[in-house]
């Protein structure tokens, strides 16, 4: 036997072979683990609509790269509305959230939760709580909202911290009774912070007004849209030649002159 270094060339080859097999084994195990975790990561980024992040939270995809789950925001919230997600919750493990229908954000002026965040997952540039966008309130159910039924509930409007800015009551004719008005709670996305006080206060069994993630709640006009009346205001005059507009004869159904 050729035994100068204690190992024959055959044995050396075998041990190299074993080494490579062991490497492959470990790499495959870890690869499998990683793939599973990557898929789970993707899933966990789908925040359920009713879970609302604290004020100033980055967009969900960025938030999960920035939040280290320390819970300081939870600790510094004077109203104890925030919770760190447990594994059984449908929210990325350990990240903070609140559910408006249970406890809405009280919109503290000094925003202690944002100040407490050590990583900036809650953006420190947010210094005016009325500028926060935790979500957007939507009057989702026109069939059960008491104001839509012609009554004067108005509770969502009354509790809104930005009353007459984020929620207004718009008077419209009540066609059912034909002699009353309906005061429809109307949310304005430029002012609504998504605090959830309206959702919490809604008197129905299931709230007719809910805070949704802005992405779900908001439509978006095509980039080419121009609103004539806005353009007119900007230009100070009509953009078309008003003089030469042809007035068409009014057409009515023939049996109803």
Partner 1 sequence: MSARAIGAEAVAEKGWFASHKWLILRRSSQLAILALFLAGPLAGLWIVKGNLAYSLTLNTLPLADPYVLLQSLLAGHMPEKLALIGVAIVLAFYFLVGGRVYCSWVCPVNLVTDAAAWLRGRLGIKGGAHISRKLRYWVLAMTMVLAAVTGTIAWELINPVSMLHRGLIFGIGMTWTIVLAVFLLDLFVSANAWCGHVCPVGAFYSLLGKWSPLRVSAAKREACNDCMDCFAVCPEPQVIRPALKGAKQNVGPAILSPNCTNCGRCIDVCSKDVFRFGLRSAK
Other CB atoms within a 10 A radius of the CB of residue 18 amount to: 10
The residues that touch partner 1, with contacts defined as CB under 8 A, are: 22, 26-27, 29-31, 33-34, 37-38, 40-42, 44-45, 61-62, 64-72, 74-76, 83-84, 86-89, 92-94, 117-121, 124
**Minimum distance between the CB of residue 216 and partner 1, rounded to whole angstroms?**
21
**Minimum distance between the CB of residue 83 and partner 1, rounded to whole angstroms?**
8
> What 3-state DSSP class applies to 197?
helix
Beta carbons within 8 Å of 111's beta carbon, 6+ residues apart? 55, 56, 126, 127, 129, 132
Distance, CA of 145 to CA of 57 (rounded, Å): 30
**Which residue, 38 or 171, is less far from partner 1 as judged by CB?**
38
> What 3-state DSSP class applies to 139?
strand
Helix boundaries (H) for the chain: 9-44, 60-66, 72-76, 112-116, 155-159, 197-201, 214-217, 228-235
With beta carbons less than 8 A apart as the criterion, state whether 122 and 54 touch.
yes
**Which residue, 33 or 204, is less far from partner 1 as judged by CB?**
33
> What 3-state DSSP class applies to 98?
strand
> What 3-state DSSP class applies to 185?
strand
**Minimum distance between the CB of residue 5 and partner 1, rounded to whole angstroms?**
18
**Minimum distance between the CB of residue 201 and partner 1, rounded to whole angstroms?**
27
**Which residue, 62 or 206, is less far from partner 1 as judged by CB?**
62
**Which residue, 119 or 177, is less far from partner 1 as judged by CB?**
119
**Minimum distance between the CB of residue 134 and partner 1, rounded to whole angstroms?**
20
**Which residue, 64 or 168, is less far from partner 1 as judged by CB?**
64
């Amino acid at each position: 036997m050729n035994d100068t270094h204690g190992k024959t060339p055959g044995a050396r080859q075998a041990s190299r072979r074993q080494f490579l097999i062991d490497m492959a084994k470990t790499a495959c195990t870890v690869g499998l683990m990683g793939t599973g975790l990557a898929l789970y990561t993707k899933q966990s980024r789908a925040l359920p609509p009713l879970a609302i992040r604290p004020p100033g939270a980055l967009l969900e995809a960025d938030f999960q790269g920035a939040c280290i789950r320390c819970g300081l925001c939870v600790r510094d919230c004077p109203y104890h509305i925030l919770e760190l997600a447990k594994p059984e919750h449908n929210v990325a493990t350990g990240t903070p959230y609140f559910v408006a229908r249970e406890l809405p954000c009280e919109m503290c002026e000094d925003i202690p939760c944002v100040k407490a965040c050590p990583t900036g997952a809650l953006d420190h540039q947010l210094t005016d709580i009325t500028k926060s966008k935790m979500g957007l309130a939507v009057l989702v159910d026109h069939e059960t909202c008491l104001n839509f039924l012609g009554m004067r509930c108005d509770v969502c409007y009354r509790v809104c911290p930005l009353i007459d800015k984020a929620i207004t009551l718009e008077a419209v004719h009540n066609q059912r009774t034909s002699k009353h008005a309906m005061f429809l709670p109307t949310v304005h996305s430029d002012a609504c912070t998504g605090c959830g006080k309206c959702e919490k206060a809604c008197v129905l069994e299931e709230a007719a007004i809910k805070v949704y993630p802005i992405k779900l709640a908001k439509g978006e006009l095509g980039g080419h849209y121009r609103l004539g009346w806005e353009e007119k205001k900007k230009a100070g005059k009509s953009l078309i030649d008003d003089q030469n507009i042809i007035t068409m004869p009014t057409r009515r159904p023939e049996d109803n002159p």
